[in-house]
Amino acid sequence: MSDNNIQMDELDTRLLKLTQDGIPFTHSPFADVAKELGMTEEDVVDRIKHLQVNGFIRRFGASIGHRAIGITANAMCTWNVPDELVEEVGAVMAGFSEVTHCYERPRYPDWPYNLFTMVHSYTREDCEHVAKEISIATGISDYNLLYSVREFKKTGVRL
């Protein structure tokens, strides 16, 4: 969280507004942002680090539109993992490069699944193959694959 004495200035606000929808896909994106703001590339990077360290932003990172590059098979794999093995099994599952999210959720009387992984691939068959590999690696055979039907617009916090 930010120190009460540290505040964002007008340049910080302009920087966030300029980058909140993404930075240019160029060889030197921070230089392009710097030019727009009338500052150096190093100043842009330093300000972003400052905003992060002081809790004004949580992270600054890349986000790839997977559908735009042809990755259209997206499966939420739900796993019935013994509670005492969740940490161990979750670590194995999260170690698969095809798994982008891995998290524990509560069980319900009509829903025994407590560990969820998100797998993205080019085909449903690829997702099924990954799930089978995860099952073999963990010894967990009780699972389901739930496929995304459509994607809703994703946006983060906006100034």
DSSP annotation of 111 reads B
pLDDT above 80 (res 56):
yes
8 Å CB contact between 76 and 143: no
Query: Which pTM was predicted?
Result: 0.62
**Mean of all residue pLDDT scores within the chain:** 88
Q: How do residues 74-119 score in pLDDT, each as one tens digit? A: 899 999 999 999 999 999 999 999 998 999 999 999 999 999 999 9
Residues of the chain with pLDDT > 70, as a percent, come to 86
pLDDT above 70 (res 61):
yes
DSSP H helices in 54-110: 86-94
- Fold classification of 1-63 (topology level): Arc Repressor Mutant, subunit A (1.10.10)
Q: Which CATH class is domain 66-147?
A: alpha beta
Q: What are the residue boundaries of the structural domains of the chain, listed by start?
A: 1-63, 66-147
